[in-house]
Structure 1
């Protein structure tokens, strides 16, 4: 089958970068040099072009420069397969008609290795869009990593504050935070029950994993996810530790108590659903 063997559909701020790092180094996998492709949510051209212009344009002429940068970030070195991917992806990004077949052919250079697309934005796709994916890729494996809605939303806020300053910490009040919380993009990503229900209708064997388990039990999490994807789970095959986190040195801002109180009330029913339908570490969620 041409195309990805799996999609990781998120959630945003729930460990998808950890998963990409683990898989890009595993010898059973070939992962695209760009983590998020955004084909199915219609943002492929914008997202790819940003990465291409900022990082990968020089890769077509000199892989060594890009690989020096990737080495500092613990990324696997690029090779000729990655150049082929970038050439095809650039052609697709510049095309007025971006067909599914062209997207699927991006993964041809994976050969017999397992390959996939890790794009958290896929978690908010509508049912008709998921149905179309199912029609084209019925054997696809789906991974969804669930994070406590309270901590996920706060992490989302901190990311946005850093990136575009729309909601600066200096102006953080309960009312301003509610403005952020009710934004369409935030709301759509904050209810795992809805994502799981939509996707399981078409992919009943999707794997739902908990961010808590990745954080607290990275070895067993890596092993079980690799098994699900059909890969060898042996730890010695991966040259980075199971608890590797490229963002671990970043400063974390504490959630104010008044904001926590708002979120605990707001997500009370959602957390009850997670406890009843997912179980495991969700029992400790507030």
Structure 2
């Protein structure tokens, strides 16, 4: 039996899919002390994930409402790192520059939120974090929690493509990278960036939120809802946040559209080469022909943006038990992804 299956079975065995809640962490500053500081305004809602599921677009859309304030910095991950006592993560980690570690810096994100009914931030690491749910509940007990979930294999593949584009994933096979997670952890690779399987364990992650927050303070949506009816989803979220849902907001702009890496770096360099010899060769070929051939070569050399259906359906089976937990927690049918 493979490692993913064993892990999911262990999760489901702990109280019908509800893993034990992590003990409260030691805060950098108590809530009482924080209240004595000037302008202690903090968010009253959080978009907690999932990564590669449209949270950047949702963050942007919500911020267009006159009664909603979204932090200018997305992904501060403050409540995921409270236990570090203000000590930053290594600066070489991807996207580490935007992380926030101290109460003072965190409060500054919301200094201009006066007058807003709903104040929010988005940190996709909060969904998988073992610390964030309890930390948010301790400091902001009435916070509303919003999660966007994407088909776990589509999410993992998008994560893999991003890592390939950034040069952070050496394996050229997605399935090899997907299977390598536990071995990489055992070898000391840092958590998060290459956790293609684990970051799709939505049942495990959501259980930590439902264990400490009332269900009426949590809303969970499918990525397809944002993709197919962004306007409708945004109106639903506005109503949940207690602001006017019919406020006109442009939800047509798609942000952070996924890039795909080339299959072959050699062919990619050839296509974009500006060498003298190639320039001479190009000069004798009509421009329209050059552009057509170049476009075809580039298209043929791109990694597919979506996995073949047979491979996708085979791989998602590893999430069967975890998706049943998501269904039970949310009252929705996320298990349909097993058949799509």
Common topology (TM > 0.5): yes
User: Which residue does the alignment assign to 2:206?
Assistant: 196
**Which is bigger in relative contact order (C-alpha 8 A, separation at least 6)?**
1
* Residues 44 and 145 of structure 1, relative CA distance in 2, 3 Å threshold: farther
User: Which residue does the alignment assign to 1:61?
Assistant: none
How many residues align structurally? 236
CA offsets 1:217-240 (integer angstroms, 9 cap, x no match): 22221111011112212242x2x2
| Larger-Rg structure | 2
1:37 and 1:48 in contact (8 A); partners too? no
1:145 and 1:210 in contact (8 A); partners too? yes
User: Which residue does the alignment assign to 2:238?
Assistant: 226
1:146 and 1:211 in contact (8 A); partners too? yes
Structure 1 vs Structure 2 CA RMSD: 3.0
TM-score, normalised on structure 2? 0.60
Query: 5+ unaligned residues in a row in structure 2: which ranges?
Result: 1-39, 82-87, 185-190, 261-303
Would you say 1:254 and 2:306 are equivalent positions? yes
* Residues 152 and 181 of structure 1, relative CA distance in 2, 3 Å threshold: farther
CA offsets 1:111-138 (integer angstroms, 9 cap, x no match): 01132110101112215x4323212111
User: Which residue does the alignment assign to 2:66?
Assistant: 27
Shift of 1:32: 2.2
Would you say 1:272 and 2:324 are equivalent positions? yes
CA distance in 2, matches of 1:159, 1:48: 12
TM-score, normalised on structure 1? 0.71
2:162 and 2:258 in contact (8 A); partners too? no
Query: 5+ unaligned residues in a row in structure 1: which ranges?
Result: 52-88
- Secondary structure at the residue paired with 2:68? coil
CA offsets 1:236-274 (integer angstroms, 9 cap, x no match): 2x2x2x242124585662214564254123122223333
Would you say 1:210 and 2:226 are equivalent positions? no
Shift of 1:199: 0.9
* Residues 279 and 202 of structure 1, relative CA distance in 2, 3 Å threshold: closer
The partner residue of 1:15 within 54, 61, 67 is 54
CA distance in 1, matches of 2:306, 2:245: 35
1:149 and 1:271 in contact (8 A); partners too? no
Q: Normalized per residue, which structure has more helix? A: 1
CA distance in 1, matches of 2:204, 2:113: 33
The partner residue of 1:282 within 334, 337, 340 is 334
CA distance in 1, matches of 2:258, 2:307: 18
